[in-house]
Amino acid sequence: MQEPRETRLAQYLRDRRARLDPTALGFAATRRRTPGLRREEVAQRAHISATWYTWLEQGRGGAPSADVLDRLARALLLNEVEREHLFLLGQGRPPATRYRPSAGITPRLQHILDALECSPALVRNASWDVLAWNQAARAVLTDYEALPPSQRNVLRLIFCDPAVRAAQANWEHVARFVLAAFRADATRAGVDTAPIVAELSRRSPEFAAMWEEKAVRDYGEGIKELHHPVAGPIAFEYSAFSIEGNRDLGLVIYHPASPADAALIRRLIAALPAPQRREPT
């Protein structure tokens, strides 16, 4: 039988407290009976009552508010995964979404993209800014390297780039699909969509009309067809994945639907100019 949530919260608080170095946090290096901070030091850092914090560690403090849990997470130097666990123990639900856009990806993730030789692949954040890509994506989808960072956004490309629009086998279907998936991703991550919605509503009446439909869907997986200006029709099977450890990032892979499609992609890659050196972050 599982222990009550209050008991598990008390154990978690005690464990996190014991892992902190008092001297690194400005407390005196006096003799201590147990490792880590004292209860009153955690309470002081969290700006809460020492008595109530003691009750929480004894499993009798009641359900803390979200504000108190946030204070405790900061006081105990919890990372995002640990903070979520604290909220699940304290309130039985994850914390409200805090959107923190990612500026880039790790070198290891870039290596994974580069290893997908004939499969266009990219990493985008919840605002649908394209942060990383491989050579196949440059050759087949868009040469993101040639664009300024502000223009490497899927919505801007779909609704405002004539070449990207012309490459879609059914632009209206694709645009609605992209917009519905973006709305779901942005809402889930807590993205403030107002700036890009205002911008694209001014630039594209079609965007404004489709946004008002308020459709939502997952990106998921399926079939995509493109009409490349040089190679002609190319078909793909695509899949979208979330990236563990960074909820803001999503990986999309377009696998060629046939050996003939793969051969077209290889020829397009061979014709690309040499890529500039990129330093993933």
The residue with tokens 């039985």 is 92
| Enclosing domain of residue 139 | 107-270
Whether residue 157 lies inside any domain: the answer is yes
CATH number for the domain harbouring residue 66: 1.10.260.40
The residue with tokens 């692949």 is 121
Q: Which of 59, 91, 123 represents a domain boundary (last residue)?
A: 91
Same domain, 82 and 126: no
Do 72 and 46 contact (CB within 8 A), yes or no?
yes
Same domain, 53 and 153: no
CATH number for the domain harbouring residue 220: 3.30.450.180
The reported pLDDT for the residue numbered 161 is 96
| 119-148 pLDDT per residue, tens | 999 999 999 999 999 999 999 999 999 999
Whether residue 69 lies inside any domain: the answer is yes
Same domain, 68 and 158: no
Same domain, 135 and 71: no
Same domain, 136 and 243: yes
Closest listed residue to residue 278, CA positions, set 101, 100, 104:
104
The reported pLDDT for the residue numbered 231 is 94
pTM of this prediction?
Answer: 0.71
SS3 assignment, position 3: coil
Do 68 and 13 contact (CB within 8 A), yes or no?
no
d(CA 183, CA 196): 12
Same domain, 127 and 26: no
The reported pLDDT for the residue numbered 99 is 67
Same domain, 135 and 231: yes
Same domain, 145 and 238: yes
Query: Can you list the residues of the chain whose pLDDT is less than 70?
Result: 1-2, 97-101, 103, 245, 275-281
Q: What is the DSSP letter of 146?
A: G
Question: What contacts 75, CB < 8 A, 6 or more positions away?
Answer: 42, 45, 46
Q: Which of 44, 59, 91 represents a domain boundary (last residue)?
A: 91
User: What's the structural domain count of the chain?
Assistant: 2
Strand partners, 243: 246
